[in-house]
Chains A and B, each alone.
Chain A
Amino acid sequence: MARVLLFGRLADVAGWRERTIEAASLSALRTALATADPGLGEALAGPSVQAAVDKALVRGDAALTPASEVAFLPPMSGG
């Protein structure tokens, strides 16, 4: 299980902002999200979308625990 947060246009694409999803790794989570919603899967696969696990940016894969918080971050706009 992981707490999944979507920001910016990703939340518009998915139609939700926060969900709890069963996944043991970031790559498994991406697969689960893309299977449930191919449109979201495509949006998450974009090169400009970054992932953060427990508020730290992650490149590549990462293991998730039930307490993990995963955030998908589209390009940041600045304030």
Chain B
Amino acid sequence: MAVVLQSQPFDPGQLLGGFCPNRRETGAVASFTGLARAEHGAALTLELEAYPGFTDAAIEAMAAGAAKRFDLQDWLIVHRTGPIAPGEAIVFVATAAGHRRAAFEACDHLMDWLKSRAPFWKKEHGPDGARWIEPTDHDRRDAARWDDPFFDTPAERAAQDD
């Protein structure tokens, strides 16, 4: 269970390889890797600003809540900061659970939150200059899917079955 913010590029395969071993009770590991898009030449560089000690604490608190909600055994979030070139990995999320549904849903949920609500400030440097980017309505709607208190998660279904 860890949040890592780093300015250095990372290898998502290596992270996943390091996350999987020594899990005798884990039935499923889901992972997601987000890459920086070139936007057909409009984005030369993406610049992500974090507030060290604040950004990681917010991500950690959110992920701890998700771990409880989806009954995760473990999770890992690695996020780049600073300038990021198109094609480079920006974010890596891995979730480990007893069964696949929880691992998939938790990974999806964590990414929706990271994309729309995580405390980062994002600037796109393109041929016409730089601009600050805010979450799109689509990102907000994706994140809001999880706000419904009656959303049926695997952990909630299991609790109802007890």
Contact = CB atoms under 8 A, between A and B. Distances in A.
Contacts of B79: 79
Interface residues on B, range: 20 to 34
A75 B114 contact: no
A39 interface: no
A77 B122 CA distance: 6
Contacts of A8: 49, 121, 123, 132
Interface of A: 5, 7-9, 12, 52, 55, 71, 73-79
Secondary structure at the A interface, as helix, strand, loop or mixed, is loop
A77 B120 contact: yes
B15 to A, nearest CB: 16
B116 interface: yes
Contact of A78 (B53, B54, B116, B132): B116
Contacts of B90: 79
B120 A79 contact: yes
Contact of A55 (B49, B54, B91): B54
A52 B52 CA distance: 13
Contacts of A74: 121, 132
Contacts of A7: 49, 51, 121
27 contacts: A5-B51, A7-B49, A7-B51, A7-B121, A8-B49, A8-B123, A9-B121, A12-B132, A52-B51, A52-B54, A55-B54, A71-B54, A73-B51, A76-B117, A76-B120, A76-B121, A77-B120, A77-B121, A77-B134, A78-B114, A78-B115, A78-B117, A78-B122, A79-B48, A79-B79, A79-B115, A79-B118
